[in-house]
Amino acid sequence: MQKATKVLIILFLIFVISIFYISLNRDTSYNTSSLINKELPEFEISFFNEKKFYKNNDLKKNNYTLINFWASWCAPCRTEHPILMKLSQEKNLKIFGVNFKDKKIHADQFLKELGNPYAFIGKDINGKQSVRFGIYGIPESILINKNLLIMKKFVGPLSSDDLSQIVEIIN
Protein backbone atom coordinates (compact mmCIF):
# COMPACT_ATOMS: atom_id res chain seq x y z
CA MET A 1 0.00 0.00 0.00
CA GLN A 2 2.85 2.38 0.91
CA LYS A 3 4.54 1.66 -2.43
CA ALA A 4 1.30 2.34 -4.30
CA THR A 5 0.91 5.63 -2.41
CA LYS A 6 4.44 6.70 -3.38
CA VAL A 7 3.82 5.84 -7.04
CA LEU A 8 0.55 7.76 -6.97
CA ILE A 9 2.20 10.82 -5.42
CA ILE A 10 5.04 10.74 -7.97
CA LEU A 11 2.57 10.36 -10.86
CA PHE A 12 0.53 13.26 -9.48
CA LEU A 13 3.64 15.46 -9.23
CA ILE A 14 4.70 14.56 -12.79
CA PHE A 15 1.19 15.42 -13.96
CA VAL A 16 1.14 18.79 -12.18
CA ILE A 17 4.61 19.72 -13.49
CA SER A 18 3.58 18.70 -17.05
CA ILE A 19 0.43 20.82 -16.87
CA PHE A 20 2.46 23.84 -15.66
CA TYR A 21 5.08 23.27 -18.35
CA ILE A 22 2.50 23.06 -21.16
CA SER A 23 0.48 26.03 -19.86
CA LEU A 24 3.47 28.31 -19.33
CA ASN A 25 4.88 27.54 -22.78
CA ARG A 26 1.58 28.00 -24.56
CA ASP A 27 1.31 31.07 -26.77
CA THR A 28 -1.84 32.90 -25.65
CA SER A 29 -1.37 35.85 -27.99
CA TYR A 30 -4.11 36.46 -30.54
CA ASN A 31 -3.51 34.24 -33.53
CA THR A 32 -5.15 34.94 -36.86
CA SER A 33 -4.13 31.71 -38.60
CA SER A 34 -7.51 30.11 -37.82
CA LEU A 35 -9.18 32.75 -40.02
CA ILE A 36 -7.33 31.77 -43.20
CA ASN A 37 -9.65 30.42 -45.89
CA LYS A 38 -12.71 31.28 -43.83
CA GLU A 39 -15.44 33.16 -45.62
CA LEU A 40 -15.90 36.83 -44.83
CA PRO A 41 -18.83 37.37 -42.44
CA GLU A 42 -22.02 39.03 -43.61
CA PHE A 43 -21.74 42.78 -43.15
CA GLU A 44 -23.51 46.03 -43.89
CA ILE A 45 -21.19 49.02 -43.69
CA SER A 46 -22.56 52.42 -44.53
CA PHE A 47 -20.95 54.59 -47.21
CA PHE A 48 -18.66 57.34 -45.97
CA ASN A 49 -20.53 60.08 -47.82
CA GLU A 50 -23.96 58.67 -48.63
CA LYS A 51 -26.81 56.87 -46.91
CA LYS A 52 -26.13 53.59 -48.68
CA PHE A 53 -24.50 50.35 -47.54
CA TYR A 54 -21.63 48.22 -48.73
CA LYS A 55 -22.44 44.52 -48.54
CA ASN A 56 -20.49 41.33 -49.20
CA ASN A 57 -21.46 41.19 -52.87
CA ASP A 58 -19.84 44.57 -53.54
CA LEU A 59 -16.43 43.03 -52.84
CA LYS A 60 -16.93 40.13 -55.27
CA LYS A 61 -16.23 42.49 -58.17
CA ASN A 62 -12.54 42.81 -57.21
CA ASN A 63 -9.86 40.17 -57.70
CA TYR A 64 -8.49 40.98 -54.27
CA THR A 65 -9.67 43.41 -51.64
CA LEU A 66 -7.79 44.68 -48.64
CA ILE A 67 -10.23 45.78 -45.94
CA ASN A 68 -8.40 48.32 -43.82
CA PHE A 69 -9.80 49.58 -40.51
CA TRP A 70 -8.49 53.05 -39.75
CA ALA A 71 -9.20 56.32 -37.97
CA SER A 72 -7.75 59.81 -37.98
CA TRP A 73 -7.11 59.61 -34.19
CA CYS A 74 -5.04 56.44 -34.58
CA ALA A 75 -1.29 57.15 -34.63
CA PRO A 76 -0.23 53.74 -36.05
CA CYS A 77 -2.65 54.38 -38.96
CA ARG A 78 -0.41 57.28 -39.95
CA THR A 79 2.60 54.95 -39.86
CA GLU A 80 1.02 52.43 -42.22
CA HIS A 81 -0.46 55.01 -44.59
CA PRO A 82 2.54 55.15 -46.98
CA ILE A 83 2.25 51.34 -47.35
CA LEU A 84 -1.42 51.68 -48.23
CA MET A 85 -0.55 54.39 -50.78
CA LYS A 86 1.91 51.97 -52.42
CA LEU A 87 -0.65 49.15 -52.40
CA SER A 88 -3.25 51.41 -54.00
CA GLN A 89 -1.14 51.35 -57.17
CA GLU A 90 -1.54 47.57 -57.52
CA LYS A 91 -3.93 46.71 -60.35
CA ASN A 92 -5.14 43.45 -58.83
CA LEU A 93 -6.10 45.00 -55.53
CA LYS A 94 -8.73 47.40 -54.28
CA ILE A 95 -8.55 48.83 -50.81
CA PHE A 96 -11.75 49.16 -48.83
CA GLY A 97 -11.21 51.59 -45.98
CA VAL A 98 -13.48 51.31 -42.96
CA ASN A 99 -13.34 54.50 -40.95
CA PHE A 100 -13.62 53.36 -37.34
CA LYS A 101 -15.28 55.44 -34.57
CA ASP A 102 -14.20 58.67 -36.17
CA LYS A 103 -15.57 62.10 -37.03
CA LYS A 104 -16.04 62.72 -40.74
CA ILE A 105 -14.38 66.12 -40.65
CA HIS A 106 -11.22 64.66 -39.07
CA ALA A 107 -11.20 61.65 -41.41
CA ASP A 108 -11.49 63.96 -44.45
CA GLN A 109 -8.63 66.07 -43.13
CA PHE A 110 -6.51 62.93 -42.58
CA LEU A 111 -7.00 61.81 -46.19
CA LYS A 112 -6.42 65.30 -47.53
CA GLU A 113 -3.13 65.50 -45.67
CA LEU A 114 -1.77 62.00 -46.35
CA GLY A 115 -3.54 61.02 -49.59
CA ASN A 116 -6.43 58.67 -50.28
CA PRO A 117 -5.43 55.06 -50.99
CA TYR A 118 -9.00 53.74 -50.78
CA ALA A 119 -11.06 52.64 -53.78
CA PHE A 120 -14.09 52.93 -51.52
CA ILE A 121 -14.64 54.07 -47.96
CA GLY A 122 -17.21 53.02 -45.42
CA LYS A 123 -17.76 54.09 -41.85
CA ASP A 124 -18.39 52.23 -38.63
CA ILE A 125 -19.31 54.96 -36.19
CA ASN A 126 -19.93 52.79 -33.10
CA GLY A 127 -17.58 49.91 -34.01
CA LYS A 128 -20.35 47.31 -33.99
CA GLN A 129 -19.79 46.19 -37.59
CA SER A 130 -16.07 45.74 -36.93
CA VAL A 131 -16.85 43.12 -34.27
CA ARG A 132 -18.23 40.95 -37.10
CA PHE A 133 -14.70 40.99 -38.55
CA GLY A 134 -13.09 40.19 -35.19
CA ILE A 135 -11.49 43.62 -34.93
CA TYR A 136 -10.43 44.72 -31.45
CA GLY A 137 -8.07 47.56 -32.16
CA ILE A 138 -6.98 49.53 -35.14
CA PRO A 139 -5.27 49.49 -37.56
CA GLU A 140 -6.17 46.02 -38.74
CA SER A 141 -6.38 44.78 -42.31
CA ILE A 142 -7.96 41.73 -43.94
CA LEU A 143 -6.94 40.53 -47.38
CA ILE A 144 -9.71 38.65 -49.20
CA ASN A 145 -10.01 37.16 -52.66
CA LYS A 146 -12.81 37.27 -55.23
CA ASN A 147 -14.65 34.44 -53.46
CA LEU A 148 -14.58 36.47 -50.23
CA LEU A 149 -12.22 34.01 -48.59
CA ILE A 150 -9.79 35.48 -46.08
CA MET A 151 -6.22 35.16 -47.37
CA LYS A 152 -4.54 36.92 -44.48
CA LYS A 153 -5.29 39.16 -41.53
CA PHE A 154 -2.87 41.82 -40.33
CA VAL A 155 -3.11 43.04 -36.76
CA GLY A 156 -1.42 46.39 -36.20
CA PRO A 157 0.11 48.72 -38.78
CA LEU A 158 1.18 47.20 -42.10
CA SER A 159 4.94 46.92 -42.45
CA SER A 160 7.13 46.69 -45.56
CA ASP A 161 7.27 42.92 -45.00
CA ASP A 162 3.47 42.84 -45.06
CA LEU A 163 3.55 44.90 -48.25
CA SER A 164 5.82 42.30 -49.93
CA GLN A 165 3.58 39.48 -48.69
CA ILE A 166 0.43 41.13 -50.07
CA VAL A 167 2.08 41.86 -53.42
CA GLU A 168 3.23 38.24 -53.61
CA ILE A 169 -0.25 36.89 -52.85
CA ILE A 170 -2.10 39.09 -55.32
CA ASN A 171 0.30 38.61 -58.25
Partner 1 sequence: MKFKLFLILFVLYSQSIFSEEKKIDPNSIHKNLRCLVCQGQTISDSNSDFAQTIKLVVKDLINEGKTEEEIYSFMSDKYGEWIVFKPELNMHNSLLWILPYIALIFGGFFIFGLIKKRQ
Q: Which residues of the chain form contacts with partner 1 (CB under 8 A)?
A: 1, 8, 28, 30-31, 34, 41, 101, 126-128, 130-134, 136-137
Q: How far is the CB of 49 from partner 1 (least distance, A)?
A: 24
- State the DSSP string of 56-102: GGGGGGSSEEEEEEE-TT-HHHHHHHHHHHHHTT-TTEEEEEEEES-
State the Cα–Cα distance between residues 88 and 132, nearest whole angstrom: 25
**How many angstroms from the chain centroid is the CA of residue 159?**
13
Cβ closer to partner 1: 1 or 24?
A: 1
Hey, what's the torsion of the CAs at 56, 134, 128, 68, to 10 degrees? Answer: -60
Cβ closer to partner 1: 4 or 61?
A: 4
Q: How far is the CB of 54 from partner 1 (least distance, A)?
A: 19
Q: How far is the CB of 164 from partner 1 (least distance, A)?
A: 27
Cβ closer to partner 1: 32 or 165?
A: 32
